[in-house]
Amino acid sequence: MKTLAEAKSKLPLFIFLTPILLWLILLIVLPHLDLLRMSFRIENDYGDMVWSVNNYLEFFREPIYWLTFTRTALYAIIVTFLTLCISLPVAFYITKVAPPKFKGFLSLLLLMPFWVSELVRIYGWMILLRESGVVNHFLLRWGVLRQPVEMLYNDVAMTMGLVYTSMLFMVVPLLSVLDSLDDSLIEAAFDLGSSMITIVWKIIIPHAMPGIASGSIVVFMLSLGNYLTPNLMGGKNSLWFTEQIYNQFIASFNWNQGSAFGFLLLIISSLIIFVGLKLTKQKLSGVIQ
Amino acid sequence: MKEKVLSLMVAGVFMLGLGSGVHAETLELLTWKGYAPKSLVEKFEKETGITVKTTFSNNEEMIAKLRATRGAGFDLAQPSQDRISSVQEKFNIYQPIDYTKIDATLIVPSMLEAVKKNTMVDGKSYGVPHVYGTSGLIVNKKVAPDAADYAALLDPKYEGRVSYRLKRPTLIAMAFAEGKDPFALYNDAEAYTALMESIGQKLIDAKGLVKTYWTNGDALLQSMRSGEVNVAMAWDNGGWKLNAENPDIDFIAPKSGALGWIDTFAIPAKAKNVDAAYKWINFMMQPENAAVFTNAEKYGTASAGAIEFYDEAVKANFQRSFSQADVDNIKWYPPVPAKLEAIEGKILDKVKAAQ
């Protein structure tokens, strides 16, 4: 009798858990296991598939692959840092400086660009920045430039596109941590004669650290895994690691190499985040709260 | 009680799913952009009652999509004829064409024979020709009057005004421009790799001249319209479309030979509605329908007799860009052996990564 009652009380739990479990297992765990298996298979000279770690070794053997990865990771770190530099003042303004009744409105403004898809946003930037684009048109008309300048298809444009795309994901966690910062701490610091820089460095940043860390993780991962922005705005010089995975799958028909790259991306980016957390003395459990 | 509600809900979901399956017969078409004009789709739906669902793709993605599902999910695909046999041998994603179900009188015989031969695996053929065209140069003749061959893409004169795709046709075109014949090396992987590496190095050296490597045909046309790009390697129909807007811009058959391709109809291995696929093939090859397509998209069609229904401007395009010598000089792609794609892929990656 007791067991029946127990089973009954657990039924709703199972009902609610099943979709999530199915989702996780069928759509995430199983495909990844298959990819993992695939990444350890290669085709030998006779056209048969055999087990091997060659796909992983290839990454370190061929400079173009690890150089592309290094480049991608470095740019993702730069993007994360720039996003932080822009988002911190924005978040501070919204939580502490702006009148309370505008807070919701300002957050909504931040959210607005995300109502359209990333592709549309990127094409918008392309229309603005291209040689025959809007910005060039006005610069020429106002006499700032004599010749139109190509502002697209370089690393600066790409970085800007990535910062723009990921800003929201930095601002939102910062808003919530800064909200809990007691204003009187800042007032007291001012009363005691400390400068703005000291306040930012000694009070605001230490307090916001969990938010900074979680925002940075999200922005870093999004930039590292981005495909559209580097491809469309970076143009001819911007081989991104994700594009290399795509090329392996689509252009070279080498799914095995592609899945090995996918796992390397997962492992190395997790390592970078781990190092980042250690350096800033944060705990993952504290950050994801 | 709870269980009853739940099972009712589950049943409801199933019935909804079944219901939508029973009602309308559909044709899942995996094709290139522009290959299924809206007017023709509507006409077909009216004639047969079959709903056409189109997915736009390119050669590489078509293969990847069908490979992922082992040939399921689509009733008809449109790969190029040279990309069928090796893919079929390796991944078995298509089913043989039943040529008795196709009205052969609708198709130019020489093309049908060529495609049958090139898509043959173990004595069975897998393709029906649909569209043909060439890759060559689109040039703004006002700014670049001497661009006549692929070498113009590497010419410092046009610095910053050059664009091409970072795909295998570019490598092959550059090899022809050097006087080599890459198709003759298709079965000699070592010599082919050496040739392609030297071409890759050339592209890296000339990278500074490139505006951008285009990936989207419409985006390229936009850059040429606005004068951002003056010399590009692209498909003939793009040049002809631009020529209608601006007579300075036109498609040119390069001296060392335009690259000729034929896109086909091929039926995926696990196609659900094979009958509809054959209906669509026969429908698209009807001369009047094929001409509607060609008049809109400017591509040539393998439909016999469609030429009678061509617009004058479309006929003129071909005559303007191709002399008889140019036609004889078209390099038609032979079937691509397996593994070449991997060689080319790595070289193209290197070009893209070079600074």
What was the ipTM of the complex prediction? Answer: 0.78
Which tens digits make up the pLDDT trace of A66-116? 999 999 999 999 999 999 999 999 999 999 888 888 888 998 888 888 888
- Whether residue B346 and residue A252 make contact (CB cut-off 8 A), yes or no, is yes
pLDDT of B15: 46
Of all residues in chain B, the one with the smallest CA distance to A240 is B353
Q: H or E stretch including B163?
A: strand B162-164
Compute the nearest-CA separation of B66 from chain A (Å).
11
pLDDT of A5: 58
Contact status of B21 with chain A (Cβ, < 8 Å) = no
pLDDT of A7: 59
Do residue B291 and residue B248 come from a single domain? no
Do residue B160 and residue B251 come from a single domain? yes
Compute the nearest-CA separation of A67 from chain B (Å).
9
Among A8, A136, A236, the strongest candidate for a mutation testing the B interface, having the largest count of B CBs within 10 A, is A236
Other beta carbons within 10 angstroms of residue A45's beta carbon come to: 5
pLDDT of A112: 87
Do residue B204 and residue B228 come from a single domain? yes
Kindly report the backbone phi and psi dihedral angles of residue A213, in degrees, each rounded to the nearest multiple of 5, phi listed first: -65, -45
Is the pLDDT confidence value at B169 over 90? yes
Contact status of A9 with chain B (Cβ, < 8 Å) = no
Q: In this predicted model, which residue has the larger pLDDT, A8 or A119? A: A119
Question: Considering only CA atoms, which of A161, A115, A98, A64 is closest in space to residue B350?
Answer: A64
Distance between CA B128 and CA B99 in Å, rounded? 9
Domain hosting residue B314, numbered range: 2-132+262-325
Contact status of A247 with chain B (Cβ, < 8 Å) = yes
Is the pLDDT confidence value at A172 over 60? yes
Do residue B312 and residue B187 come from a single domain? no
Is the pLDDT confidence value at B134 over 50? yes
- Whether residue B352 and residue A236 make contact (CB cut-off 8 A), yes or no, is yes
Using 50, 70 and 90 to split pLDDT, how confident is the model at A154? confident
Is the pLDDT confidence value at B17 over 50? no
Contact status of B337 with chain A (Cβ, < 8 Å) = no
Of all residues in chain B, the one with the smallest CA distance to A155 is B355
Give me the mean pLDDT over the B30-42 stretch.
Answer: 92
Give me the mean pLDDT over the B288-310 stretch.
Answer: 90
**Mean pLDDT score of chain A:** 88
- Whether residue A254 and residue B228 make contact (CB cut-off 8 A), yes or no, is no
pLDDT of B345: 87
**Strand ranges for B166-257 from DSSP E:** 210-213, 231-235, 249-252
Closest Cβ–Cβ partner in A235, A250, A251 for B212: A235
**What's the CATH code of the domain at B202?**
3.40.190.10
**Mean pLDDT score of chain B:** 89
pLDDT of A251: 82
Closest Cβ–Cβ partner in A130, A239, A254 for B352: A239
- Whether residue A252 and residue B212 make contact (CB cut-off 8 A), yes or no, is no
Contact status of A64 with chain B (Cβ, < 8 Å) = yes
Is the pLDDT confidence value at A53 over 60? yes
Give me the mean pLDDT over the A255-259 stretch.
Answer: 92
Cα dihedral A124, A128, A132, A137 sign: positive
Question: Considering only CA atoms, which of B150, B155, B136, B146 is closest in space to residue B206?
Answer: B155
Distance between CA A258 and CA A240 in Å, rounded? 14
- Whether residue A251 and residue B345 make contact (CB cut-off 8 A), yes or no, is yes
Using 50, 70 and 90 to split pLDDT, how confident is the model at B353? confident
Which CATH number applies to A62-287: 1.10.3720.10, 3.90.1580.10, 3.30.70.20, 3.40.50.720?
1.10.3720.10
Using 50, 70 and 90 to split pLDDT, how confident is the model at B305? confident
Compute the nearest-CA separation of B126 from chain A (Å).
20
Compute the nearest-CA separation of B173 from chain A (Å).
18
pLDDT of A3: 59
Give the rounded percent of residues in chain A with a pLDDT score beyond 90: 44
Of all residues in chain B, the one with the smallest CA distance to A233 is B212
Q: Of the spans A115-119, B11-15, B193-197, which averages the highest pLDDT?
A: B193-197
Give me the mean pLDDT over the A144-153 stretch.
Answer: 86
Number of domains in chain B: 2
pLDDT of A171: 93
pLDDT of B121: 93
Strand order in the sheet with B76-77: B51-56, B26-31, B76-77
Distance between CA B162 and CA B160 in Å, rounded? 6
Cβ atoms of B84 and B97 within 8 Å: the answer is no
pLDDT of A46: 73
Q: In this predicted model, which residue has the larger pLDDT, B4 or B28? A: B28
Question: Which of these ranges, A154-158, A240-244, A280-284, has the smallest mean pLDDT?
Answer: A280-284
Question: Considering only CA atoms, which of B233, B218, B82 is closest in space to residue B148?
Answer: B233
Do residue B79 and residue B113 come from a single domain? yes
Do residue B285 and residue B248 come from a single domain? no
Do residue B283 and residue B318 come from a single domain? yes
Cβ atoms of A9 and B2 within 8 Å: the answer is no
Give me the mean pLDDT over the B159-167 stretch.
Answer: 92
Is the pLDDT confidence value at B156 over 80? yes
pLDDT of B14: 47
- Chain B residues whose CB is inside 8 A of the A68 CB are 349, 353
Q: Which of residues 11-50 of A touch B (CB under 8 A)?
A: 11, 15
Using 50, 70 and 90 to split pLDDT, how confident is the model at A4? low
pLDDT of A16: 84
Is the pLDDT confidence value at A17 over 90? no
Do residue B104 and residue B189 come from a single domain? no
- Chain A residues whose CB is inside 8 A of the B228 CB are 130-132, 150
Closest Cβ–Cβ partner in B63, B167, B342 for A254: B342
Compute the nearest-CA separation of A98 from chain B (Å).
42
Q: H or E stretch including B120?
A: strand B120-121
Q: Which of residues 142-181 of B touch A (CB under 8 A)?
A: 160, 167
Using 50, 70 and 90 to split pLDDT, how confident is the model at A174? very high
Do residue B237 and residue B192 come from a single domain? yes
Do residue B172 and residue B212 come from a single domain? yes
Do residue B200 and residue B336 come from a single domain? yes
pLDDT of B10: 47
DSSP one-letter string for A84-102: HHHHHHHHHIIIIIS-HHH
- Chain A residues whose CB is inside 8 A of the B349 CB are 64, 68, 239, 244, 247
- Whether residue B350 and residue A64 make contact (CB cut-off 8 A), yes or no, is yes
Contact status of B5 with chain A (Cβ, < 8 Å) = no
Which tens digits make up the pLDDT trace of B79-88? 999 999 989 9
Q: Which of residues 222-241 of B touch A (CB under 8 A)?
A: 226-228
Contact status of A133 with chain B (Cβ, < 8 Å) = no
- Whether residue A253 and residue B64 make contact (CB cut-off 8 A), yes or no, is yes
Closest Cβ–Cβ partner in A15, A64, A231 for B349: A64
Of all residues in chain B, the one with the smallest CA distance to A231 is B215
What is the residue whose two structure tokens read 């048969």? Answer: A48
Using 50, 70 and 90 to split pLDDT, how confident is the model at A6? low
- Whether residue A131 and residue B228 make contact (CB cut-off 8 A), yes or no, is yes
Do residue B119 and residue B266 come from a single domain? yes
